[in-house]
Amino acid sequence: MSDNIPQVPQKLLFVCLGNICRSPSAENIMNHLVAVQGKSDRIMCDSAGTASYHTGAAPDRRMAIAAKKRGITLHGRARQFSQQDFQQFDLILAMDRSNYQNILALDPEQKYRDKVKMMCDFCTSYPDKEVPDPYYGGVDGFDYVIDLLFDACNGLLASEYLT
Ligand code: 4NP
């Protein structure tokens, strides 16, 4: 088998701050898109937060409502990102620059740096560079995050990393 054929299954980890808004949305949207494409046996998704404040918590209710409007049910409980995740996952997708820096800070030797990507680098329609933190904003922010994540997840699914 050639070296540039990805190992299967591909394991993706979506990371935000609290793991109750953006990253569980990304995880569940990606699972949905992967299932629609019949690739559930080849692509596995999980999510985590760089902070531990919400460990064990269900997704934020406002985020769950916004996801439901687009046909996505948010499953899972919050957990904190850990150093072991660098070995466990093939790609680690940061929602914003602060998440990205916090993830890389746990890899001082930069061994896993190439696995860590910015989620919005996979957007094809939205111009955003980061997935905005909706936690302290209005309800529109949650809807926006879902639409933005659909774009990024579709882009990721079509990217060189997963094809
Ligand atoms: P998330 O949103 O990182 O998308 O899960 C947040 C959730 C909680 C807090 C901040 C952002 N917080 O400050 O508690």
Of all atoms in ligand 1, which is nearest to the CA of residue 78?
5
Question: Would the CB of 18 count as within 6 Å of ligand 1?
Answer: yes
76 Ramachandran zone, left/alpha/beta (phi>0; psi -120 to 50) = left
Q: What are phi and psi of 43, to 5 degrees?
A: -130, 120
**What is the Cα–Cα distance from 78 to 91, expressed in whole angstroms?**
19
Predicted model pTM: 0.95
pLDDT by position in tens, the chain (length 163): 445 555 567 999 999 999 999 999 999 999 999 999 999 999 999 999 999 999 999 999 999 999 999 999 999 999 999 999 999 999 999 999 999 999 999 999 999 999 999 999 999 999 999 999 999 988 789 999 999 999 999 999 999 999 7
**Residues paired with 113 in a beta bridge:** none
CA atoms of 78 and 130, how far apart (whole Å): 21
Q: Does residue 22 carry a catalytic annotation?
A: yes
Active site residue 70: no
